[in-house]
């Protein structure tokens, strides 16, 4: 089950946190780092939607402004028996989209002008259903919890370097301090990416069930993969921590972009959607 895998990954991250915490100085230092990280992420949880929408210059639209997009979202929200989210448009040529908000009652979905320009209405519906699936699955909450633990691990790693790494009485102290500082955050980041990727697969599945047409999303992902890699997203490049929000990776600068991607392979996602369509009796070319 997807949630079981997510729980295992979160447990692994928690175990890493405990191990580094005991290395640094026992329970007290561990609790301090967790409290600080939790406070920072609690603020982000309540305000991240406003921050990210402002960061990308998103403009809220109504049925009068964007009748096709708002109409699609309304129909999908009704099919999913969900509250109607706020709808935003981002002036950006890279075709992409994301959802944000701390719960279904305070959710927003955003699509770039590039997505609306390059995709058909069916493909846009597939993408918006995927974003509504993130809202229904409360992935914002899951990723906030993950970010809280990852942030605490990074803080503990810094404490390890400062307190253990400066222990000149033992030659092992500095080595262990540096090791904790480097390996801890990297391990936390890898687990965080694994959680994000598992949630993308689940959002694809639930989104396909909401729209009733897995092939719409499969076709959209094929186009997004082909186009997004050729078109820059300057805001995302300037704020790579927001990359996990998008339906496809908005970053493509640098040789290590694929290695540290928060998104699973598009080919695997499309393959899974085709398999789901087959179980529903649908074949490519069906409408």
- 138-164 pLDDT, tens digit per residue, is 887 776 666 666 666 776 666 666 655
Instruction: Report the predicted TM-score, pTM, of the whole model to 2 decimal places.
Output: 0.79
- 27-81 pLDDT, tens digit per residue, is 776 677 677 667 766 776 787 788 889 989 999 999 999 999 999 999 999 999 9
Q: Note whether residue 90 is domain-resident.
A: yes
DSSP code per residue over 51-91: HHHHHTT-EE--TTT-HHHHHHHHHHHHHTT-PPPEEEEE-
State the pLDDT confidence band at 259, using cuts at 50, 70 and 90: very low
Q: Which helix (H) or strand (E) holds 99?
A: strand 97-100
* Residues tagged active-site: 131
Q: What is the DSSP letter of 262?
A: S
User: What's the structural domain count of the chain?
Assistant: 1
- 175-222 pLDDT, tens digit per residue, is 555 665 666 667 666 666 766 778 899 999 999 999 999 999 999 999
- Alpha carbon distance, N-terminus to C-terminus of the chain: 30
pLDDT for 104 equals 92
Tokens representing residue 70 in the block: 């708002």
User: How much of the chain exceeds pLDDT 70, in percent?
Assistant: 66
pLDDT for 220 equals 97
DSSP code per residue over 121-137: HHHHHHHHHHHHHHHHT
How many Cα atoms sit within 13 Å of 234 on the Cβ side? 5
Q: Note whether residue 271 is domain-resident.
A: yes
- Please tell me which residue, 143 or 85, carries the higher pLDDT value: 85
Q: Note whether residue 72 is domain-resident.
A: yes
- 198-211 pLDDT, tens digit per residue, is 889 999 999 999 99
- Does residue 167 register a pLDDT over 60? no
pLDDT for 239 equals 78
Q: Note whether residue 286 is domain-resident.
A: no
Q: List Cα–Cα distances, 178 to 37, 171, 192, in angstroms.
A: 21, 12, 21
Domain that holds residue 206: 2-279
Cβ burial of 100 (10 Å; 0-12, 13-18, 19+) is: buried
């Amino acid at each position: 089950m997807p949630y079981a895998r997510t729980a295992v990954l979160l447990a692994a991250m928690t175990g890493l946190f405990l191990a580094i915490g005991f290395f640094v100085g026992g329970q007290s230092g561990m609790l301090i780092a967790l409290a600080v990280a939790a406070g920072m992420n609690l603020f982000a949880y309540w305000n991240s939607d406003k921050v990210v929408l402002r960061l990308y210059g998103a403009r809220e639209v109504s049925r009068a402004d964007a009748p096709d997009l708002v109409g699609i979202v309304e129909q999908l929200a009704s099919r999913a028996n969900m509250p109607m989210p706020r709808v935003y448009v981002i002036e950006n040529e890279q075709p992409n989209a994301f959802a944000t908000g701390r719960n279904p009652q305070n959710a927003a979905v955003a699509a770039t002008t590039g997505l609306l320009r390059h995709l058909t209405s069916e493909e846009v519906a597939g993408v918006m259903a995927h974003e509504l699936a993130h809202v229904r699955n409360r992935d914002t909450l899951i990723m906030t919890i993950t970010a809280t633990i990852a942030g605490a691990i990074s803080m503990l790693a810094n404490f390890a370097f400062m307190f253990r790494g400066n222990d000149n009485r033992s030659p092992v102290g500095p080595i262990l301090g540096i090791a904790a500082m480097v390996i801890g955050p990297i391990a936390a980041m890898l687990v965080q990416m694994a959680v994000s990727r598992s949630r993308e697969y689940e959002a694809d599945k639930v989104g396909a069930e909401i729209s009733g047409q897995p092939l719409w999303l499969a076709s959209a992902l094929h186009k997004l993969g082909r186009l997004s890699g050729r078109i820059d997203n300057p805001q995302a490049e300037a704020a790579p921590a927001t990359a996990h929000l998008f339906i496809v990776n908005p970053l493509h600068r640098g040789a290590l972009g694929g290695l540290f991607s928060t998104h699973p392979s598009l080919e695997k996602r499309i393959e899974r959607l085709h398999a789901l369509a087959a179980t529903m009796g649908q074949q490519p070319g069906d409408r």
